[in-house]
Amino acid sequence: GAGVSQSPSNKVTEKGKDVELRCDPISGHTALYWYRQSLGQGLEFLIYFQGNSAPDKSGLPSDRFSAERTGGSVSTLTIQRTQQEDSAVYLCASSLDMRGEKLFFGSGTQLSVL
């Protein structure tokens, strides 16, 4: 696609529910990243994929968070049993590869957990 696409753009959910966030990277980009940004805060790194592989999952805040990427393209970030502290903007980015390539960001998913 022309840019990184994320869906939904907004998600309101109740505490305890599961949510799934989707990211469609730029075609041909092998690296994909998930970040989260709380109101007025910096970007917190969550996880990245090189192809379909996620070499480092240590950035995920808890075991309620998981992510997968299939076909070297679309990625989904799943949050189980959501908590209020999960409320944030979840940003996805992609790059050609990881060697000094700039990141292209999607518009993000605003998650609100009530």
Partner 1 sequence: GQNIDQPTEMTATEGAIVQINCTYQTSGFNGLFWYQQHAGEAPTFLSYNVLDGLEEKGRFSSFLSRSKGYSYLLLKELQMKDSASYLCAVPLSGNTPLVFGKGTRLSVIA
3-state secondary structure the chain: CCCCEEECCEEEECCCCCEEEEEECCCCCCEEEEEEECCCCCEEEEEEEECCECCCCCCCCCCCEEEEECCCCCEEEEECCCCHHHCEEEEEEEECCCCCCCCEECCCEEEEEC
Using CB under 8 A as the binding rule, whether residue 12 contacts partner 1 is answered as no
Query: What's the closest the beta carbon of residue 16 comes to partner 1, in angstroms?
Result: 28
* Number of residues lying near partner 1 (CB under 8 A): 19
Of these, 60, 77, 88, 91, which contacts partner 1 (CB under 8 A)? 91
Using CB under 8 A as the binding rule, whether residue 65 contacts partner 1 is answered as no
Using CB under 8 A as the binding rule, whether residue 99 contacts partner 1 is answered as yes
Residues that bind partner 1 (CB under 8 A): 33, 35, 41-43, 45, 48, 56, 91, 98-100, 102-108
